[in-house]
Amino acid sequence: MFTPIQVLLVCAWMWGFTVIGMSVQLFSYGVAVLHGFVTGLIMGDVTTGLTVGGTLCLMGLGVGGYGGSSVPDYAMGTVVGTVFAIATGGGVEAGLATGIPVATLGTQFDILAKMSGSFFIHKQMDCAEKHQFDKMGIWAHGWNIFRATLYTLPILLVMTVGSGIITTLLANMPPWLIKGLNTAAGMLPAVGFAILMKYLPIREYGVFMIFGFAAASYLGLSMVAISLFAFVAAYMVYKGLEKGSAAPAVSNGGDYDE
Amino acid sequence: MSNVLTKKDLRRCLNRYIFTRQSPFNYETMQSGGWVYSIHPAMEKIYDGDADVLAEKYKDHFKFYNTHPWMGNIILGACIAIESTKDPDATKQAVEMRTALMGPLAGIGDAIIWIMFMTILGAIAAYMALEGSIVGWVIAEAVQLVIWFAFYKLFFVAYDQGVSFVTTRSAQLQHITEAASVLGLSVVGALVASTVNVKFGITMSYGEVVQPLNDLLDSIIPHFGNVVTVALIYWGLGRKGMTSGKMIVIVLIAAIVLSAIGILA
């Protein structure tokens, strides 16, 4: 169902991106859209790729690995979702049915890579101890390459030996599961936003959520428009804080004269 | 500050750092491996390639280190500046400063680089992608490139100005982070309305009149289902032992079950 060229190109893309993704960290904003676009290009249907990428990108908004934690890998989910959405002709529904489970399982690969990191760091420490300082790079770069290979394996498996099973599963998916995954696609973005709410100072500035919510739901403003209005609000808060931190020094100046 | 290090040496350190700042990531020392590999070109020159001294100093540099990778550029520049003084306590000071800075700078980096920009630009990229256009992603990436290169340059600024570069601006950085969170919360509020999509499937009938529950609730608060879902998940994330990974699995199962029995559309 996949030509060898397609398998090779998709795997090469996943591998190359993952090498860059961890440390260099370019192309990380809206990364699922990029994966959908490139995978769609390889599979010959950019529009479907962008739809799967856009849907999974929205699901992943706010879900970030802050402080080294492991989170679902919506990038890996997009690649798998896109190849099956296009190859089976099942469109975005097939994309979600394969992409969401893969994204969720993707967490395990992150944990596995970070656990394996112990082996690499001790090898690197040994090099330093033996004064082989330049050999340290083998283990530092090596881990990146190891991780990328680990991330590419599931893609290779589902596109070769696993493709028959997945296609059969997709063709025999019960309607309630398809409906359920569509509902999940609408619900999962809420997790990201709840994580952001936990992370942001909601006690002090939670009221700005009402501002954004009202602007979107009552005024129907676009994301760009709301960001611009919110920028003005943020700027005024910043000015207020700068003034506030300078003010006490002036106003308390003469207090101790008496 | 002694000036044995040339711009070329510094660039070698930074280029190493960019490719290895998160590797080999591990649960014992997190990002310290890439750090040691990155400072080596500078350290070798500062300490005249004395292997015994370097091996001893790297034991300290191998200690636990974890920060926002882009912010790490700044810490790296400042730490190399301290080491270049060749003060007997330089390594101790450098590692202490690294440890003191990594937490606060990670907080600022997460709030601005990951949360604020990534959420806003990710939403723009996603919505334009759903309309079949890659332009949104191109905009997102253009902004990211600008910020990324700004942090590339900040490494050199941090080296020239040392710790004072960060400490003199700590209050201002704190204010920028707070202001960024105002922007972040506004956008999250907007996304709760526009991106989350939870609708109730139940209809209620009073004799002849059939009223979908969802329409009734939306007339009280728009996007009622979205608001309730986000509130429940927010509450759930505060429970003991709950992680974001577990929560995603719970939501996934809840969505399939609730839609199968018809409570959710």
Provide, as residue numbers in chain B, all residues whose Cβ is less than 8 Å from the Cβ of A26.
141, 144-145, 148
B13-25 pLDDT per residue, tens: 999 999 999 989 9
Interface of B with A in 147-166 (CB under 8 A): 148
B228-242 pLDDT per residue, tens: 999 999 999 999 999
DSSP string, A6-54: HHHHHHHHHHHHHHHHHHT-TT-TTHHHHHHHHHHHHHT-HHHHHHHHH
Q: Quick check: B228 contacting A, CB < 8 Å?
A: no
A220-244 pLDDT per residue, tens: 998 889 999 999 999 999 999 999 8
pLDDT for B135 equals 96
| C-beta contacts of B51-60 below 8 A and 24+ residues apart | B51/A131, B51/A133, B52/A131, B54/A128, B54/A131, B54/A133, B55/A128, B55/A129, B55/A131, B57/B91, B58/A128, B59/A128, B60/B91, B60/B92, B60/B95
A172 burial level (CB within 10 Å; 0-12, 13-18, 19+) = exposed
pLDDT for B131 equals 94
Asked if the peptide bond before residue A248 counts as cis, ω within 30 degrees of 0, the response is: no
A218-249 burial code (b ≥16 CB/10 A, e <16): eeebbbeebbebbbebbeebbeebeeeeeeee
Residues A61 and B122 sit within 8 Å (Cβ to Cβ): yes
d(CA B115, CA A66): 9
Which positions ≥6 away from A110 have C-beta within 8 Å? A65, A70, A71, A73
DSSP string, A138-198: HHHHHHHHHHHHHHHHHHHHHHTTTHHHHHHHHHT--HHHHHHHHHHHHHTHHHHHHHHHH
- By C-alpha distance, the chain B residue nearest A179 is B259
pLDDT for A68 equals 63
A24-33 pLDDT per residue, tens: 999 999 999 9
**DSSP SS3 for A203:** helix
B153-182 pLDDT per residue, tens: 999 999 998 767 677 777 888 898 899 999
Token representation of residue B9: 């040496």
Residue B195 half-sphere exposure toward CB, CA atoms < 13 A: 35
ipTM for the predicted complex: 0.89
Q: Quick check: B222 contacting A, CB < 8 Å?
A: yes
B44/A133 CB distance under 8 A: yes
A69-116 pLDDT per residue, tens: 678 889 899 999 999 999 999 999 999 999 999 998 888 898 999 999
A50/B44 CB distance under 8 A: no
Q: At B175, which helix (H) or strand (E)?
A: helix B170-194
DSSP A135: G
Give B216's pLDDT tier (boundaries 50, 70, 90). Answer: confident
Interface of B with A in 188-207 (CB under 8 A): 188-199
Interface of B with A in 58-97 (CB under 8 A): 58-59, 62, 66, 69-70
pLDDT for A105 equals 86
d(CA B73, CA B18): 8
Across the range B208-221, mean pLDDT stands at 88
d(CA B68, CA B65): 10
Please provide residue B65's backbone torsions phi and psi, each rounded to the nearest 5 degrees. Answer: -150, 130
A126-137 burial code (b ≥16 CB/10 A, e <16): ebbeeeebeebb
Give A256's pLDDT tier (boundaries 50, 70, 90). Answer: very low
Using CB atoms, which residue from B132, B171, B233 is nearest to A50? B132
CA angle (A144 as vertex; B40, B82 as ends), nearest 5: 25
Q: At B212, which helix (H) or strand (E)?
A: strand B209-212
d(CA B16, CA B94): 19
